[in-house]
Structure 1
């Protein structure tokens, strides 16, 4: 039976979309129908295989409202073949995942496949053998428009894609979405960078650095799936609100296995119940603390002064003190982990005994060596020479005992710095201590000195500019044998220990060889808004290039004397009359008052990270949690209060820069107090 092909192009594309969705359903049904009862040898293998099948089924979900493909490439010649006159080209639909028909022929090509790369990089000056690039426009899940670029036609002038611009400027209701249909050439180069190398992306507000990092994870999982399935991947964000905001991006791209965490999650060896003054946190976060911890740990090793005598049957075997000292010296010289060396010590002593046995004519084997290593005399010697150390107790004593700290920090920390890091109320036990976040990082460092931290295949570190050197070290040991993607903006550093330069930060991370890339094209923040916020750059990040907005929609920007919270609430009501999400950002101390004013006005609001709905589109955001979030419209309450809420002016101005750059379509700044002078 023949199939009628629709006459007009849009109908043909809709027909291909319907056929592709049908093929995807068939792929999912095939996965659901797999019977593994007679395939596996035992229940363990069956469980592993069933989990893989379940993940495959989830990855084949046809998400409502998410286009199955967003572009089409018509090649002049078959990809991968020699260009020859008269050669037939091929047509590929580019989408979020691969879809094939019953015969195995591709209906949609994964955006990460090499054949899809020209969709992002081809241009009139470099068509990459592409005759036509077609972009599709959708309303909900319905294909409603298309737009063609004839890249190989010299007579056709290059024009800005209207569909691409509309997609960039589409309202931001709900969590962060993928940018797979709008990746730009400079972003694509970072996304497709190889797994072996680490990349650092410096990007101002709205340049898409977070999206680039997440899409890089998706690309690496596609290109190196088996390797990363063994070694693991991790996305690290600054807080839970941020992670909630980005958590749907990778699942929408079919990647369900990537773990997300904060630095605090990674170093959760002790319960954090306290907080440090800024000065103490700065010193505790200094990389010099690593050497203080190393000194304190290895001070537990004591050179032996007595021999070890091992009794086996009627024979006594004696290992002299000088031999033991030589063994201990060799282990120290190897610079292996404290715990690994401690485990090796009894075997080294046992080996010395076996050498004596062999000289005496005996023929001991490995079982004899193991037995000697477990001998009570050997165990006692190991306990005396190389005792076990609990990392948390090591840190507790350093922070509680001034003399102990002074002994191991001599020549590293000044006397004033030592006083700064000591606890005001020394703790007696690990459980009773009021550990701070910076203390927890020290415990993690000590734990790694004792026993090597497990390394992952790839780690993405977002909002990295706010990490201390010791936090960088904590992240770095999670990817010592893997690679990293570091994302951040030096102008948005809002901690007292904020990153001063990327080479310095990458050195602490253990990735000094990482390539630093800079994104300066702004796809999110309107021109007037980013221009106003950039007035702060000379004061917070001298020499850093300002972001240049590429948005055609200018949005709007308004400064308003508010006359109290009533004016701020009125601005929120005004913006809620528009389509899209609204964020009310305010100094942390003003949030309770504003929450009360909103409630009194009958305006519902959400907490940061919560998903906006058609009924509730306003989020009340403390300035300290605004980083990384974005809203269609923003009301910024009292900029002066945002600056004054920080411990120093520079940090306050950086916090203000973050708050000013969260808007996608429009910003209203309301104030009763004078604006900071740096805004001109």
Structure 2
């Protein structure tokens, strides 16, 4: 049943409940603002103030976002009715009675999971329609005694309208439209790592973000201490998704890129493709490990250590054993904790002092702990450690590898051949690491060495999007931030555009340190129209032969237009002018090198468009370099010169698959009679 009549008694009652929820939310904000810090110290007052500010932000009311979007009706054991309104955050009245239930609460789960075959205790599910924050209609879905719905979405008109609503600005949350297979991933336990192989339009990014929000709600205390990290492919993508978690009330989540995580050196250059491949290879981890730990020398003579006013001789054989024992800890197995290089140097110095202390005690002395610590910091101990276990700097070590052919040859023996070593060398050598031509791949290697030197702080949960494009060394950089936490890995093998892309998830998951992670496949597309998805799916046999093609919930006849043109400028302007008549965002996508010409053609036609950059925001009409299109969505997309997109990079056909699947309602393809063969009818 659906209704929009202003006199409908159900609609009148629900509007009254919406107004009541808004009043209660205002009251909760007022109560949070009125909290006082009397009787506490300055530190506690500061923490209370921060908690109050965070609570106020979480309770902030957006007039465009209603307090609830759904309702569940059930029968209790004694036969009485039980009703819950489901919304983005919990709302209670002054007496503490729930008015709206947070979508993440256990009692909200049936709203997403119930079906006619498995009603999960519900007798009815109600969805609401809104416009500008005003409740305009509702739909009731009976769940007991009803036939199973034929459509995957339950045949809900309001659900389809919400999915198809014109999109402008950043990504929205999907709490009102989460489907059962998505909800199963969102509510996976914190201890469980999951990998989502998601075809275009299946909502994999939103699912990953909503899982982070669910875990923060369910395990708030634990994750408040350890933190949640979201890793995206580039800054433009992060700007697109950055409002999803705050909308859900979660503001203390770090969202970053691998480049920002590993920004230990100033990146000012770009690698040749063949050099980037070598630097991203997992073998580089062993090369760096050898270069660092291989610099440790064997002690050559006895050492005199001062403690308690006397000097005690530590024989060279004991020194050798101490160094060897610590060096073995630098490659610890599963039964032994890894020893970081800097910690090993400190333990060596302390071991020297402890040896001297034992000798002093055997001679009748009783050195204190403070004297032992001073002995470990004595000039004799420091000089010994400098000679045998020298302090290292991550950037300087990588720089030395690139400039010292002998050092590189020793570290890479049996791992990299002569040609691969030559790709790593800097010629001519820079004057210092500060002025070196560091590249993004170099920064990842410097971060690897930094992780060998000292422990990298970890997070309780990490979400990695577009993970299919990570190099093995980038996977290791993310894994170092994971510590003992869990992962949500998101991606699509068919959209893999990097030179390290694999045909399955095994290598990536192993590189991320979670090889036993279960892979969940999402193949039901909600955002991309069926006509568009079927067109793009023609490329799948060449991209990922073993991958099941995505199917679309929405067919959208007339959503696809493929036009052969003699030139691009005039037809492009005509198409954009036509698309501007409808609401929503428009993305004009072409090969990166063609972007200036495309933007110039639109400007010349009186249709100014913004060019998307790493730090930019999409506009009403945005010209998008193909390399930045991944993960973005536009209501209408114009793909200009698909052959040029394919020719621009080694995995250009994969890139074309990406850009063909960015449209929510309309896709127009302009080509000059040179479509890839797989796309020709």
TM-score by length of 2: 0.95
User: Structure 1 CA distance, aligned partners of 2:276 and 2:187?
Assistant: 37
> Per the alignment, in what secondary structure is the counterpart of residue 610 of structure 2?
coil
> Per the alignment, in what secondary structure is the counterpart of residue 384 of structure 2?
helix
User: Structure 2 CA distance, aligned partners of 1:673 and 1:305?
Assistant: 75
Deviation at 1:673, TM superposition (A): 4.8
Deviation at 1:330, TM superposition (A): 1.6
In the TM superposition, 1:647-666 aligns within 5 A as 648=650, 651-666=651-666
In the TM superposition, 1:104-503 aligns within 5 A as 104-154=96-146, 159-312=154-307, 315-335=310-330, 336-503=339-506
User: Structure 2 CA distance, aligned partners of 1:7 and 1:377?
Assistant: 89
Aligned to 1:102: 94
User: Structure 1 CA distance, aligned partners of 2:322 and 2:273?
Assistant: 44
> Per the alignment, in what secondary structure is the counterpart of residue 670 of structure 2?
strand
User: Structure 1 CA distance, aligned partners of 2:220 and 2:96?
Assistant: 21
Aligned to 1:3: none
User: Structure 2 CA distance, aligned partners of 1:384 and 1:551?
Assistant: 69
Deviation at 1:300, TM superposition (A): 1.7
Aligned to 1:35: 36
User: Structure 1 CA distance, aligned partners of 2:25 and 2:230?
Assistant: 29
1:549 equivalent in alignment to 2:548: no
Q: Deviations over 1:108-154 (max 9, x none)?
A: 00000000000000000000010111000111100000000111134
Contact in 2 for aligned 1:245/1:610 (Cα 8 Å): no
Deviation at 1:578, TM superposition (A): 1.1
Q: Deviations over 1:284-321 (max 9, x none)?
A: 10001000000000112111111111245763311111
Contact in 1 for aligned 2:307/2:356 (Cα 8 Å): no
Q: How many residues align?
A: 660
Contact in 1 for aligned 2:226/2:460 (Cα 8 Å): yes
Contact in 1 for aligned 2:591/2:645 (Cα 8 Å): yes
> Which range is displaced more, 305-314 or 292-301?
305-314
> Per the alignment, in what secondary structure is the counterpart of residue 310 of structure 1?
strand
Q: Deviations over 1:72-105 (max 9, x none)?
A: 011111xxxxxx4x33231100000000000000
Aligned to 1:8: 9
Aligned to 2:586: 582
> Per the alignment, in what secondary structure is the counterpart of residue 667 of structure 1?
strand
Aligned to 1:91: 83
Deviation at 1:562, TM superposition (A): 2.6
Contact in 1 for aligned 2:305/2:353 (Cα 8 Å): no
User: Structure 2 CA distance, aligned partners of 1:383 and 1:432?
Assistant: 26
Query: Structure 1's 555 and 147: CA in aligned 2 closer, same or farther, altered over 3 A?
Result: farther
Deviation at 1:555, TM superposition (A): 4.9
User: Structure 2 CA distance, aligned partners of 1:155 and 1:250?
Assistant: 36
Contact in 1 for aligned 2:306/2:375 (Cα 8 Å): no
Deviation at 1:44, TM superposition (A): 2.5
Contact in 2 for aligned 1:169/1:551 (Cα 8 Å): no
Unaligned runs of 5+ in 2: 1-6, 331-338
User: Structure 2 CA distance, aligned partners of 1:472 and 1:157?
Assistant: 42
Contact in 1 for aligned 2:71/2:83 (Cα 8 Å): yes
User: Structure 2 CA distance, aligned partners of 1:610 and 1:421?
Assistant: 33
User: Structure 1 CA distance, aligned partners of 2:96 and 2:371?
Assistant: 61
In the TM superposition, 1:70-81 aligns within 5 A as 70-77=69-76
> Per the alignment, in what secondary structure is the counterpart of residue 117 of structure 1?
helix
Aligned to 1:602: 606
Deviation at 1:611, TM superposition (A): 4.9
> Per the alignment, in what secondary structure is the counterpart of residue 382 of structure 1?
helix
> Per the alignment, in what secondary structure is the counterpart of residue 608 of structure 2?
coil
> Per the alignment, in what secondary structure is the counterpart of residue 433 of structure 2?
coil
Aligned to 2:670: 670
> Per the alignment, in what secondary structure is the counterpart of residue 438 of structure 2?
coil
Contact in 1 for aligned 2:117/2:148 (Cα 8 Å): no
Q: Deviations over 1:25-56 (max 9, x none)?
A: 000011111111x2321x22222221111011
Deviation at 1:7, TM superposition (A): 7.2
> Which range is displaced more, 545-554 or 205-214?
545-554
Aligned to 2:54: 55
Contact in 2 for aligned 1:401/1:426 (Cα 8 Å): no
User: Structure 2 CA distance, aligned partners of 1:604 and 1:57?
Assistant: 40
User: Structure 1 CA distance, aligned partners of 2:305 and 2:663?
Assistant: 74
User: Structure 1 CA distance, aligned partners of 2:560 and 2:39?
Assistant: 64
User: Structure 2 CA distance, aligned partners of 1:324 and 1:657?
Assistant: 61
1:510 equivalent in alignment to 2:519: no
Cα RMSD between the aligned structures? 1.5
Query: Structure 1's 14 and 642: CA in aligned 2 closer, same or farther, altered over 3 A?
Result: same
> Per the alignment, in what secondary structure is the counterpart of residue 290 of structure 2?
helix
Contact in 2 for aligned 1:120/1:185 (Cα 8 Å): yes
Query: Structure 1's 65 and 357: CA in aligned 2 closer, same or farther, altered over 3 A?
Result: same
Query: Structure 1's 611 and 11: CA in aligned 2 closer, same or farther, altered over 3 A?
Result: farther
User: Structure 1 CA distance, aligned partners of 2:141 and 2:222?
Assistant: 38
Contact in 1 for aligned 2:33/2:56 (Cα 8 Å): yes
Contact in 2 for aligned 1:467/1:499 (Cα 8 Å): no
Contact in 1 for aligned 2:599/2:610 (Cα 8 Å): no
> Per the alignment, in what secondary structure is the counterpart of residue 487 of structure 1?
strand
> Per the alignment, in what secondary structure is the counterpart of residue 183 of structure 1?
coil
